[in-house]
Amino acid sequence: MHVAYRPEDLVAIVAAERTAGATTAIIRDIASLGSARAGDLSFLGNKKYRAEVAATKASVVLVPMDYEGEPQADQFFLFVTNPSAALALVCARIEQSLWPRPPAGVHPTAFVAPGARISPGATIGPLCVIEEEAVIGAGTVLHASVQVGRGAQIGENCLILAGCIIGAACELRDRVRLQPGVVIGSDGFGYEFVDGRHEKVPQIGIVVVENDVEIGANSTIDRARFSRTVIGEGTKIDNLVQVGHNVVIGKHCILCAQVAIAGSATLEDYVVLGGQAAVAGHITVRKGTKAGGQTGIAFDTEPGSYLNGTPARPYMLDRRIEVLRQKLPELFKRVGFLEAELKKTSESAD
C-alpha cells in the first residue's frame, strides 16, 4: 500500500476517545498484532488476542476502551469503542487513494442505446453495454464490461465492478455495490414436467435491490417467475451466493459465502446465514435467526433462533448430539463386549 499517515491523522480519522503513549513513526501499512512491525497500524478486534498487544511491534494500536495495558516506548495506543470498526474507517480512506473515483462520462468503447438515460454525473467504463430505456443515476460508476439490460434502473452513487450483468427491467436503488461477476436478474430455475419432458416456465418478474446493499463476486440473484425478487436495505451478501426466484430478503441480513436460498423463501430482517447454509423453498426464516455454516433449514423458524446442522436443530442441541456421535465407536465396542459376556453366561447356564 502506498499510504502515509501521521499518528495525529489517525486520531482524527477514528475519532479516538483517548490516547496513551506517543510515536513519531509514519504509518505505512496495516498488520495483525503478531506480524506487525515498526511503522504498522494494528488493532485488538478479538479479545482472544489480548495477550498479543503487549508484545506487538506495531507503532500504533487501536484498542478497546477497557484495555488496561500500557504502550511500549515509541508506541501509540488509540482507545476506541470498536477497534474493528475504527480500522474500517482507516481502510476506507486507503481505499479512496488506491482506487480513485474515475471522472464522469462515457468511455468511447462503451455502447449506449439511444433511448438510455445516463446522468451527466455517472461514469460508464470501457466496453459497457447500456440497452434501451435503461436509467443510470448520478454518481454511479460502472467499471469495464458491465451490461445493463433493457429498462433496468440503477440509482445514485452505486459502484458496479467489472463483468456484472443487470438484467432487463431490474432495479438497483442507491449506494448499491456489486463485486465483479455479479448477475442480477438471470432466469429463475422453473420447470414443469409435462408429457415426459421438463418444460421451461417463463420467468417474467424482476429483481429489486434496495439501498446500501453489497453483493460479493460471482453471486447470482434470480429474477422472479412473476412479481419481484427482493434484497432488502443494508443486506450484505458474500461471494458465490445463489438467491432463487421470488425470494424476499429483509433488511440488514448477512449471507456468507456459498449460501443457497431456494425459490419463494422469505428471510425477515437481521437474519445471518453462515457459509454454505441452505434454505428450502416456500419457508420463512424469522427475524434475527442465525444459522451456522452448512446448516440446512427446511422449516419455518422462530424469531431469534440459533440453528446448526442438517436438518437444522437448536445450536446447543446440535453440539450435544455431535459430542455423543463421537462416542459411538466406544459405545458399540462396549455393547459388543456386553453381548459377548451375555452369550458366555447363557452358554454356561446351559
Tens digits of residue pLDDT in 301-321: 999 999 999 999 998 898 899
Residues 213, 333: Cα–Cα separation, whole Å: 54
Per-residue pLDDT at 100: 77
The partner residues of 80 in beta bridges, in order of sequence, read: 64
Flag whether pLDDT at 54 surpasses 60: yes
pLDDT band at residue 1 using 50, 70 and 90 as cut-offs? low
Omega before 7 within 30 of 0, i.e. cis? no
Contact 293, 277 (CB under 8 A): yes
Contact 220, 237 (CB under 8 A): no
- With CA atoms as reference, report the closest residue to 293 among 279, 313, 273, 311: 273
Residues 14, 9: Cα–Cα separation, whole Å: 9
In the sheet that holds 153-154, the strands lie side by side as 117-118, 135-136, 153-154, 171-172, 206-209, 228-231, 248-249, 266-267, 284-285
- With CA atoms as reference, report the closest residue to 25 among 87, 80, 72: 72
- With CA atoms as reference, report the closest residue to 42 among 56, 55, 26: 56
Q: pLDDT per residue over 154-164, tens digit each?
A: 999 999 999 99
Per-residue pLDDT at 138: 98
Q: Can you tell me the mean pLDDT for 227-234?
A: 98
Contact 61, 76 (CB under 8 A): yes
Q: pLDDT per residue over 238-272, tens digit each?
A: 999 999 999 999 999 999 999 999 999 999 999 99
Q: pLDDT per residue over 27-50, tens digit each?
A: 999 999 999 999 999 999 999 999
The partner residues of 63 in beta bridges, in order of sequence, read: 79
Per-residue pLDDT at 348: 80
Pick the more confident residue, 316 or 288.
288
> Would you call 245 a catalytic residue per the annotation?
yes
Q: What is the mean pLDDT of the chain?
A: 96
Flag whether pLDDT at 99 surpasses 80: no
- With CA atoms as reference, report the closest residue to 291 among 270, 319, 312: 312
Q: pLDDT per residue over 103-120, tens digit each?
A: 999 999 999 999 999 999
Q: pLDDT per residue over 122-140, tens digit each?
A: 999 999 999 999 999 999 9
Residues 324, 277: Cα–Cα separation, whole Å: 23
Per-residue pLDDT at 350: 67
Flag whether pLDDT at 75 surpasses 90: yes
| H helix intervals, 51-155 | 83-98
What domains lie within the chain, and their CATH numbers?
A: 7-98 (3.40.1390.10), 106-316 (2.160.10.10)
pLDDT band at residue 97 using 50, 70 and 90 as cut-offs? confident
Contact 195, 219 (CB under 8 A): no
- With CA atoms as reference, report the closest residue to 290 among 274, 311, 312: 274
- With CA atoms as reference, report the closest residue to 271 among 250, 256, 248: 250
Contact 291, 272 (CB under 8 A): yes
Contact 127, 110 (CB under 8 A): yes
Per-residue pLDDT at 347: 79
Residues 306, 272: Cα–Cα separation, whole Å: 10
> 329 exposed, middle or buried (CB, 10 Å; 0-12, 13-18, 19+)?
exposed
Active-site annotation holder among 107, 245, 252, 282: 245
